[in-house]
Amino acid sequence: MRRLASSLMRPVGAAFVASCFAAAFGAASAAPASAADRCVEVGCVRAVQVTGLIDPIIIDFVSRTVGEANATPGTVGVVLQLDSEGVAVEDAVFTRFVNGLVSSAVPVSAWVGTDSDALGGSAEMVMVLPGSSMSPGSELGGVGEQRLPADRYGDLLAGRRSVLRAQTVGAERAKLIGAVPRVTLSAGDHLVGLPDVTTKQVKDAEGRPKLEPVTIALVGKLDLWPQLLHTVASPAVGYLMLAIGIGLMIFEFFTAGIGVAGLVGAGALTLAGYGLGVLPIRPWAVVVLLVAGIAFAIDVQAGVARFWTAVGAVGWGIGSVWLFDGVSLPWLALMVGVGGMLLAMISGMPAMVRSRFGTPTIGREWMLGIEGDAVTAVDPDGTIRIEGALWRARTNRATPIAAGDRVRVALIDGLTIEVEPLEGPAVDYRERRSKVVDTESG
């Protein structure tokens, strides 16, 4: 539950910790020109937010920041504010990225703050970056097989650190087994321990002396569009975008023309395509999800959830559970995706299509001869219930039907069902009234 809450609150947490970095330096709000001048005097540290999976967006952003730091006079370090559940790139790409961080002339370190995680390849990165630290309440581990080459970095999971293969450990234990060199309570404590960071002595709230960084903070965040792509490349968002896109496209298929649902659905599928293209997925599971969408559409066309809805439900569940390979889909996102799709396809979508949009008769021939009940009087129009679904109905041959009477489907005309009484054949009452009038007038 702690990890799920962390992933859901990650944007809020990232903004909060960025403000902590700014407060720790004490001069982050200075104007760019004055900050550049002071960098030469007291030094600057680039603080970079790294949240979610390490994907191409994050790698490009961090690499550019490190390059700028090396080209900026007075920059004494780069700190990665890390809260990551793993890596979403190939091992060779990840290795080149880490090699660049380790070989940077400006030292690069990682700080795993309270309620943050460094899992999978992210944990390896923390272990090889000198000066990295963790805060109490953070977690490190779940590495699995080591991604970084042992010929350069050694066996990162040897000895007591082997526990990190399948488990996560807190800050104190990570230090005890040699995974990180130090435990820090805050961003300021992490910075004070870095080389070349200028500090001053102050007193805390209880009057005790402590060191506080004087070095200037330059906090960096992704721009809006890269941040959107990075967000979509997370398992929960990528999966939900796929579910929303498929659902809206099914809805749009039964409407006339291209509407808002179609445009939003196409946009969601485009974003899902990017996210799933970055994330490690099982292609066969994607195919199963698409086939499940087709199965749902068959019964939406028919207007009632029947056999194909059951096929779609099973397929959607299987595809959702097995979609990602090597990264986990949060259970809350799984429940929302599966439950929302089933609710929409079993209840919402058929009812909406029946009530709002005219569709062809194809797919509903099974209703001919089916029996139901008149919910209201059908004289000549009314409402009937067939197998739990409500339909707009009119009488066949103008035979009036009272509310509560049993009826039989005689004809299907678009979304309107023509029915006749279950007892006795339908009689055209209009013809009878016409004969009576002719007899009286004669």
pLDDT in tens, 167-186: 999 999 999 999 999 999 88
Query: What pLDDT, on a 0 to 100 scale, did the predictor assign at position 198?
Result: 77
For residue 410, pLDDT over 60 is answered with yes
The total of other beta-carbon atoms located within 10 Å of residue 429's CB is 15
Could you tell me which residues come within 8 angstroms of residue 48 by beta carbon, excluding any fewer than 6 positions away? 61, 62, 65, 78, 79, 80, 81, 220
- Contact between 179 and 160 (Cβ < 8 Å): no
Q: How many residues does the chain have?
A: 442
Domain segments of the chain as ranges: 2-223, 234-356, 365-429
Q: Which residues on neighbouring strands pair with residue 418, listed in sequence order?
A: 394, 411
Residue that the structure tokens 């970055």 belong to? 278
Share above pLDDT 70 across residues of the chain, in percent, rounded to a whole number: 80
Q: Which residues on neighbouring strands pair with residue 281, listed in sequence order?
A: 324
Q: Does domain 365-429 have CATH number 2.60.40.1080?
A: no
Q: Which residues on neighbouring strands pair with residue 407, listed in sequence order?
A: 372, 421
Amino acid letter, 52: G
What is d(CA 390, CA 410) in angstroms, rounded to the nearest whole number? 16
Query: What pLDDT, on a 0 to 100 scale, did the predictor assign at position 207?
Result: 76
Amino acid letter, 8: L
Q: What is the mean pLDDT of residues 208-220?
A: 78
Residue that the structure tokens 């197998």 belong to? 387
For residue 442, pLDDT over 90 is answered with no
For residue 256, pLDDT over 70 is answered with no
Query: What pLDDT, on a 0 to 100 scale, did the predictor assign at position 303?
Result: 64
Q: What is the DSSP string of 407-420?
A: EEEEEEETTEEEEE
In angstroms, how far is CA 375 from the centroid of its own chain? 42
pLDDT tens digits for range 104-142: 999 999 999 999 999 999 999 999 999 999 999 999 999
Q: Give the mean pLDDT of the chain.
A: 81
What is d(CA 45, CA 218) in angstroms, rounded to the nearest whole number? 6
Q: Which residue has the higher pLDDT, 358 or 245?
A: 245
Nearest CA among 188, 183, 195, 194 for reference residue 210: 188
What is d(CA 350, CA 343) in angstroms, rounded to the nearest whole number? 10
What is d(CA 284, CA 386) in angstroms, rounded to the nearest whole number? 37
Domain 2-223 belongs to what topology? 2-enoyl-CoA Hydratase; Chain A, domain 1 (3.90.226)
| Token couple for 217 | 């903070």
Torsion of Cα atoms, 392 then 398 then 404 then 410, to 10°:
-60
| Token couple for 296 | 């749902």
For residue 252, pLDDT over 90 is answered with no
For residue 206, pLDDT over 80 is answered with no
Amino acid letter, 379: D
Pick the most confident of 139-153, 264-278, 342-356, 395-409.
139-153
- Which of 61-65, 68-72, 343-347 has the weakest average pLDDT? 343-347
Longest dimension (CA), the chain: 118
For residue 197, pLDDT over 70 is answered with yes
| Token couple for 320 | 């959702």
Nearest CA among 148, 39, 164, 156 for reference residue 101: 148
Could you tell me which residues come within 8 angstroms of residue 277 by beta carbon, excluding any fewer than 6 positions away? none
Residue that the structure tokens 């001048």 belong to? 37
Strand 168-169: give its sheet, edge to edge: 117-119, 139-141, 168-169
